[in-house]
């Protein structure tokens, strides 16, 4: 029996793509698509030629996150053409194929696998520096196929996104073991929504002394910190929104021998950028999440 012609075709198609990064998560709703979308925006802003492929077939959120709702894909003799946000940022998603965004995709495994295969084989990206792939959450039948298809290419590996709670991290352990079993390299784990950060300067805390004198504590704390650390640019108050009794993603990554790429705070402005289909890197309000994402990208 000769080599699988589909795998050969995927390998051929991916030859013109330098780096392929898969974004995975154990659960839905942890920010996988947000990380995939913002990573693509960031790479494109670094003048890289970028493709973002959304194969989260049952919940394609990439069109909205890239500001491309209602767009359609076209076919040329070279294959399916992505929809372009910028000249150097192309996007492909099943969301572009659904006549109604509220329509549920109720497909059985083989049909989903067929479409994923077609996306990998038939989209004409041209020469790319990076292809970022937003995968479905979990470790389903589709993941076995995705891993098998991507092994036909020299895939760089997977970024696994989680939130801090033990309940999410249990599923990430499964995801890590899955990758190890199917031979998919792990680029690292990202902890998203880890703490709500707000600039301390935006708070006004009052402290009342015994003699009734009222003091503005924040200002004093900031002044003390600035005297001690003159290089300090900003100070944040951080609220742990989720209970992370198990020690969080960093400890889990260490225990399982995979790299930890960093934390992204819970940032209402990042959520707004995602809702509006914008890059958080050009939004001065998104400073804390954008700089966290930049630090993560440097490690990938
Ligand atoms: P997933 O792809 O894992 O299902 P999404 O990326 O769709 O998750 O994110 C779920 C929701 O959480 C979205 O509304 C998104 O805007 C929001 N979100 C993700 N990460 C953050 C964050 N760090 N701060 C605030 N909101 C976030």
Reply yes or no on whether the pLDDT at 228 is more than 80: yes
Q: Which of 293, 286, 282 is nearest to 199 (CA)?
A: 286
The residue to mutate among 36, 39, 59, 271, having the most atoms of ligand 1 within 8 angstroms of its beta carbon, is: 271
Q: Which of 252, 268, 257, 264 is nearest to 291 (CA)?
A: 264
**How far is residue 234's CA from residue 67's CA, in Å, rounded to a whole number?**
31
Range of the domain at 184: 5-195+240-299
Q: State ipTM.
A: 0.99
Q: Is the CB of 133 under 6 A from ligand 1?
A: no
Q: Is the CB of 271 under 6 A from ligand 1?
A: yes
Q: Judge whether 91 lies within some domain.
A: yes
Number of structural domains the chain divides into: 1
* Dist. CA 108 → ligand 1 center (Å): 26
The residue whose CA has the least distance to atom 16 of ligand 1 is 271
pLDDT band at 205 (very low <50, low <70, confident <90, very high): confident
* Dist. CA 120 → ligand 1 center (Å): 25
**Residue 261 contacts residue 245 (beta carbons within 8 Å):** no
Q: Judge whether 218 lies within some domain.
A: no
CB atoms within 10 A of CB 166: 14
The residue whose CA has the least distance to atom 20 of ligand 1 is 31
Token reading at 228: 């001690």
pTM, 2 dp: 0.91
Q: What are phi and psi for residue 182, nearest 5 degrees?
A: -90, 5
Summarize the confidence of residues 225-233 as an average pLDDT.
83
Q: Judge whether 37 lies within some domain.
A: yes
The residue whose CA has the least distance to atom 22 of ligand 1 is 266
Q: Judge whether 234 lies within some domain.
A: no
Q: What is the Cβ-side half-sphere exposure of residue 209, based on CA atoms within 13 angstroms?
A: 6
Rg (CA), the chain: 22
Q: Judge whether 227 lies within some domain.
A: no
The pLDDT, as a whole number, for residue 204 is: 80
The pLDDT, as a whole number, for residue 285 is: 80
Q: What is the Cβ-side half-sphere exposure of residue 98, based on CA atoms within 13 angstroms?
A: 17
* Dist. CA 164 → ligand 1 center (Å): 14
The residue to mutate among 23, 28, 30, 31, having the most atoms of ligand 1 within 8 angstroms of its beta carbon, is: 31
CATH number at residue 72: 3.40.50.300
Q: Is the CB of 286 under 6 A from ligand 1?
A: no
Token reading at 247: 């020690």
Give the list of residues 6+ apart from residue 87 with CB closer than 8 angstroms, or none: none
Q: Judge whether 235 lies within some domain.
A: no
- 247: three-class secondary structure by DSSP: coil
Atom of ligand 1 nearest to the CA of 134: 2
Token reading at 12: 């051929």
DSSP 46: T
Q: Judge whether 201 lies within some domain.
A: no
Token reading at 32: 């996988």
pLDDT digits (tens, 9 = 90+) for 236-295: 788 888 877 666 899 999 999 999 999 999 998 999 999 999 999 988 888 888 999 999
């Amino acid at each position: 029996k000769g080599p699988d012609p589909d795998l050969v075709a995927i390998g051929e198609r991916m030859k013109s793509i330098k780096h392929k990064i898969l974004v995975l998560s154990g659960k839905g709703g942890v920010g996988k698509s947000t990380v995939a979308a913002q990573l693509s925006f960031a790479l494109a802003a670094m003048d890289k030629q970028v493709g973002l492929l959304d194969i989260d077939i049952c919940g394609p959120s990439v069109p909205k996150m890239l500001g491309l709702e209602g767009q359609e894909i076209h076919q040329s003799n070279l294959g399916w053409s992505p929809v372009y946000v910028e000249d150097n940022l192309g996007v492909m998603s099943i969301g572009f194929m659904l006549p109604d965004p509220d329509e549920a995709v109720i497909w059985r495994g083989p049909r989903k696998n067929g479409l994923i295969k077609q996306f990998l084989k038939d989209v004409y990206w041209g020469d790319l520096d990076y292809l970022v792939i937003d995968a479905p959450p979990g470790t389903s039948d589709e993941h076995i196929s995705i891993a098998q298809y991507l092994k036909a290419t020299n895939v760089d590996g997977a970024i696994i996104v989680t939130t801090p709670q033990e309940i999410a991290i249990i599923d990430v352990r499964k995801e890590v073991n899955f990758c190890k079993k199917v031979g998919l390299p792990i680029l690292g784990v990202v902890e998203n929504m880890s703490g709500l950060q707000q600039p301390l300067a935006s708070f006004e805390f009052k402290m009342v002394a015994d003699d009734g004198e009222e003091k503005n504590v924040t200002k004093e704390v900031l002044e003390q910190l600035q005297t001690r650390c003159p290089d300090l640019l900003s100070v944040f108050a951080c609220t742990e929104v989720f209970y992370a009794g198990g020690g969080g993603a960093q400890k889990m990554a260490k225990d399982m021998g995979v790299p930890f790429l960093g934390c992204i705070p819970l940032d209402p402005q990042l959520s707004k950028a995602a809702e509006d289909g914008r890059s958080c890197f050009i939004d001065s309000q998104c400073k804390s999440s954008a700089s966290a994402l930049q630090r993560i990208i440097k490690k990938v």
